[in-house]
A and B are shown apart, each in its own frame.
Chain A
């Protein structure tokens, strides 16, 4: 036995300054590959609840092709996968800037579980409770954004942005202004804004940042005109810089006859501080899985919410929940764009977001924003003390910062991606930036309100350590990671529709048959 590692002597030796992390590697197969015919897990019904026999008319003729597994094997499988992962519950997840990885209180999962048995086609009279939650959450988000009505139907932020652009298109068409065929966005707005506008048939004008790191307002002046359908903008932008002239942006677009649409997916720095409608925006959206703590669910379903002014309310996706005479009813708005996903919305996430807001109240929401901003500025102070790290444009940031390792890279040849991968050897990670990289050698950190000062110190210490490794032994950092489940991933298949396989069925079709 290695005596240095022995715990026989008390008190226990102090831990080293940086965690000696090592990720598990289980070589775990995909769950479908673990299936064996006839294996079963059994959930015994609780006392008093008589098992419901489904009528033959709605029963499947054939069982679904799900993996057949024993309970222990299911548990083991997912625990192993969780050990091969880094998630909010396991690491200091401040490195996924713009994604707002905050803690999702476990108690809210229990509330969400309470609606799991509902069927989306149940009659309104039998689901008044859940409709009330939709109604009340809508009212709360309307209050937070200043908007008149809110749809909770979208299953993601991008779906909400798409619903917004579809409403913008319908609005102009209804006014005989269908010739408006351009959407203006900015380089540091989330790229889903440009992508959704394009998918909806618009030509996209992307404003580049000026020398101050802000979208060039003179360029907006030149861009806005009779062809402008809308401005779709994130603020604070992905840089964490709040556009101090946002009001002028909105006014310029209004003067040209366009609508202003605010991407508030991540409203974490402004909750209870600014409101979209107060700045004149006509539409906005929230990601409930960012700002309101519901899980991101690894690509979904998550939940988005579209807020609109009185004027745009008739175009909302349907159904929405109406309240009349003490009863909640499903209603389809008069000029609805239709559905952006089936049924009413992602109900478990609606319940979670509702519970989260109810637990915090108005003051609590504002405190979330204040704490997130404080945390971000503390972390920025720590990061900027690392030689080789910088925050271009030197402005104060709101809830996140897009930093740069340019100086370190120039001195060592080590790139930002490589530093991020080496950080994973200490149990944390970060995301760089969308493409193209406008900030050179970027990394984007967003601490939210969830993390303690100790967490932020640990994170900053890890980056400082890796940066100093890059100076003393660049080749070592470039070969990282050493303590991870997977070393280097070939991402090319993610760009190739012939290869990617988001489901088992697609995998079988594309790769096994």
Chain B
């Protein structure tokens, strides 16, 4: 037994197949078949190998543990590395009709890998110190499901971006960065990152809508090549915790706070000392949890006009603050609250919008228009910005 942490690897070999074919995702056997027919070449294995190569270049003695074939072992070998191989209980087997799909050589190898295979592999590798997985947001959801199954035994994970959609915060910026972060990983030093996904059918039809599925533990984020400027100290990256600290410091007695879904709003609950939910809408007041995971009707009853502040995180890469995963906060709830929204996002999340506005799609276009304008967005402790919020209907109508 060496002191080297064990690094696990799971590859979703069909991740990213749809991207090259312009299919905006690879979920579902039909999309995969269509992609292969269009000549798509599977690249997830290659991207995983790039991560492994970077890992080994920095940490030649790294202990790698993976599952057989295209779901891990092949990538380690392609990177010139060695690994221990664990066989999950049921080996991957082709889904009917898919293995015969026309496609280049590699495609035949990978066809038929399912979400179940990913989950089984993650469970089989539960004992590692850090689990790398190569794929996209869909894969991240499968990993999240498996980690939930494992509960307290779940290792921290880090995504190697290899899918079409990589909006989740658990992905490194590139495969090489994933390898370098893994090389620098020290057990115990972890943070939290969101797993979000788009409904691919909607996305293919141009109706984008990210949803937050949960959070996973990831290595403490550090830019592997940060290109820093010597001698100039920037402000430390505003973290979710800093945002939460700011929100709590602004809370006033006798005011009800409606916390929307999201890791940032949940951090507010944590900072406040109450167990709020990740995916639900919670209500807190004077340091107490008044109600957790409330449905719309109950929420409406809890709103005290003029004494209720709605706190929302920006979800995913599209900038939605209303109408995506928080429909409980309905137009009548917002009307009754009658106080400005408190919007939360890190600077990094806002920068990713590239100048596009935040979006409101509450279900009532008049209300959306009334909410729109310039809103304060809390980006850290005693740090904020003033950012444009638009009605989603206007943004898409141009």
Residues of A within 8 A of B (CB): 96, 98-99, 156, 158, 187, 190-192, 194-195, 198, 202-211, 213, 216, 218-223, 296, 298-300, 413, 415-418, 420-421, 431-438, 440, 475, 478-479, 488, 490-492, 494-495
Contacts and interface: CB of A to CB of B under 8 A. Distances in A.
Interface stretch (B23-31, B60-68, B264-272, B380-388): B380-388
Which of under 10, 10 to 19, 20 to 34, or 35 or more describes the interface residues of B?
35 or more
B397 to A, nearest CB: 17
A264 B316 CA distance: 37
B355 A195 contact: no
B187 to A, nearest CB: 15
Contacts of A221: 374
B230 interface: yes
Given A198-B235, A203-B384, A296-B231, A435 B226 contact: yes
Contact of B235 (A191, A431, A491): A191
A218 B230 contact: no
Interface in B368-398: 373-374, 376, 379, 382-388
A218 B234 contact: no
Contact of A208 (B376, B382, B385): B385
A219 B383 contact: no
A218 B374 contact: yes
B225 A418 contact: yes
Interface in B215-246: 222-235, 237
A490 B351 contact: no
Contact of A299 (B231, B354, B379, B385): B231
B382 A203 contact: yes
B379 A206 contact: yes
A222 B229 contact: no
A68 to B, nearest CB: 29
Contact of A490 (B58, B176, B234): B58
A295 to B, nearest CB: 12
22 contacts: A96-B229, A190-B232, A195-B233, A195-B235, A198-B235, A204-B382, A205-B386, A208-B385, A209-B355, A211-B356, A216-B374, A219-B374, A222-B374, A223-B386, A298-B230, A415-B173, A421-B225, A431-B229, A436-B348, A490-B58, A491-B223, A491-B225
B58 A218 contact: no
Contacts, number: 128
B318 interface: no
A299 B235 CA distance: 17
A230 to B, nearest CB: 15
Given A158-B232, A478-B176, A198 B383 contact: yes
B225 A218 contact: no
B95 interface: no
Contacts of B184: 490, 492
Given A421-B225, A436-B347, A211 B231 contact: no
Contact of B387 (A208, A296, A299): A208
A204 B173 CA distance: 28
Contacts of A413: 174-175
Contacts of A421: 225
Contact of B225 (A207, A219, A417): A417
Contacts of A222: 373-374, 386
A431 B227 contact: yes
The 5 closest A-B pairs by CB, nearest first: A432-B227, A222-B374, A219-B386, A417-B225, A299-B231
Given A218-B388, A438-B351, A191 B374 contact: no
A173 to B, nearest CB: 19
